[in-house]
Amino acid sequence: MSLLQVKNLVVEFPGRRGTLRALDDVSFDIAPGEILGVVGESGAGKSLTGASIIGLLEPPGRIAGGEILLEGRRIDDLPFAELRKVRGRQIGAIFQDPLTSLNPLYTVGRQLTETIRTHLPVGQAEARERAIQLLRDTGIPAAEQRIDHHPHQFSGGMRQRVVIALALAAEPKLIVADEPTTALDVSIQAQIITLLKRICRERGAAVMLITHDMGVIAETCDRVAVMYAGRVAEIGPVHDVIHRPAHPYTAGLMACIPDMTQDRERLHQIDGAMPRLNAIPAGCAFHPRCDRAFDRCHAQRPDLMPAGTTRAACWLHAGTTGGAS
Ligand code: SF4
Ligand code: MG
């Protein structure tokens, strides 16, 4: 069974000039222990999708349609107090800036033990032991001493390790990580991603890894969802999406990764820009930038359909639906 199911999710922002639809019919699922990457340009809806799942959608943004289920149970319509419990216990969150997750006034030990004791039936001494072990597992040297330090006494990379420890403290089944390494030095980024992958595997936690970095996705994820203009453009096994992209937008993204392209002559950026939310074109939102667009693309919006070994929202695959899959 799926751990997480996102079904036809719609997120809207009501405003004076009308309502903007920021997520439009987003569907995907995550299996227990799986690492799903979510990739796309900024503004594609990656962070909004993550925020909807962890219940941190900022007003006036609101879920206007669809469902989010965790282990078969709806969580998108829970009262706030209930949602907080689910979020703390079942879903951990890691954000780009470690300081948004940590309280500067408290030692990391206090923050870890409080989280552990809020969600797990353990006493103070055991919570502290678990906290030290979590810091050890995330590669923090001298964890027995460091546990009594405040967040500002850690470097950026070490602080993000503390945040990972905190996200795992309640033994959640799912971690939502939104650009977890973007704020860090390049030299530290790979270490943190490797750590995140290892520790989640060891603890059996699934990860939704939101990033604009296809290189990170390639090294880390089992499957990837490519988002464009508030929708999933393509989703499938990482290897297939990278090497046999079915959606022209994905193909363009892949061509933008220098070290993955054998034929350097073909390196190019995708012409044009992603549309603003108030000006999403009719039909396929990608059609103004797509060099394979045809009549149907201007008129009718494609939903995800089977496309070889992935699923793509692209009319080029409409004829193959009944075939190989
Ligand atoms: Fe291009 Fe048409 Fe496919 Fe959209 S549906 S990506 S415009 S071919
Ligand atoms: Mg974002």
- Structural domains for the chain: 4-221 (3.40.50.300), 236-320 (no CATH)
Mean pLDDT, 10 residues at a time, the chain of 325 residues: 96 92 97 96 93 92 96 91 86 88 95 95 97 96 97 94 94 95 87 92 95 90 97 98 96 73 51 87 96 96 96 91 43
Q: Which ligand is nearest to the CA of 305?
A: 1
Give the global pTM: 0.92
- Written as one string, the DSSP assignment of 183-236 is TS-HHHHHHHHHHHHHHHHHHT-EEEEEES-HHHHHHH-SEEEEEETTEEEEEE
Q: Which residue, 51, 6, 39, is CA-closest to 25?
A: 6
The pLDDT, as a whole number, for residue 247 is 97
CB of 231 shorter than 6 A to ligand 1: no
CB of 315 shorter than 6 A to ligand 1: yes
Using the mean position of ligand 1's atoms as its centre, give its distance from the Cα of residue 287 in Å.
6
The pLDDT, as a whole number, for residue 315 is 98
The pLDDT, as a whole number, for residue 325 is 38
Asked if 300 contacts 283 with a C-beta cutoff of 8 angstroms, the reply is yes
Coil/strand/helix, residue 14: strand
The pLDDT, as a whole number, for residue 305 is 97
CB of 286 shorter than 6 A to ligand 1: yes
HSE-CB for 213 with a 13 A CA cutoff: 15
Using the mean position of ligand 2's atoms as its centre, give its distance from the Cα of residue 210 in Å.
8
The span from the CA of 20 to the CA of 157, in Å, is 37
Residue with the smallest CA separation from ligand 1 atom 3 is: 314
Using the mean position of ligand 1's atoms as its centre, give its distance from the Cα of residue 80 in Å.
40
CB of 170 shorter than 6 A to ligand 1: no
Please report the beta strands in the chain, taking only residues with DSSP state E, as ranges in sequence order: 4-15, 18-30, 35-39, 62-70, 73-74, 91-94, 174-178, 206-211, 223-228, 231-237, 305-307, 310-312
* DSSP element (H, E) containing 238: helix 238-243
The span from the CA of 163 to the CA of 95, in Å, is 9
Using the mean position of ligand 1's atoms as its centre, give its distance from the Cα of residue 8 in Å.
21
The span from the CA of 276 to the CA of 244, in Å, is 28
Examine the predicted complex and report whether its ipTM is higher than 0.90. Answer: yes
Q: Which ligand is nearest to the CA of 284?
A: 1
Asked if 310 contacts 234 with a C-beta cutoff of 8 angstroms, the reply is yes
Using the mean position of ligand 2's atoms as its centre, give its distance from the Cα of residue 283 in Å.
25
Pocket test for ligand 1, best of 289, 315, 321 (most atoms within 8 A of CB): 315
Pocket test for ligand 1, best of 228, 250, 253, 284 (most atoms within 8 A of CB): 284
Tokens of 163: 């945040």
CB of 293 shorter than 6 A to ligand 1: yes
Q: Using a CB cutoff of 5 Å, list residues around ligand 2, an ion.
A: 47
The span from the CA of 67 to the CA of 63, in Å, is 9
**Side chain identity at residue 215, one-letter code:** G
The pLDDT, as a whole number, for residue 212 is 87
Coil/strand/helix, residue 285: coil
Strand partners, 65: 10
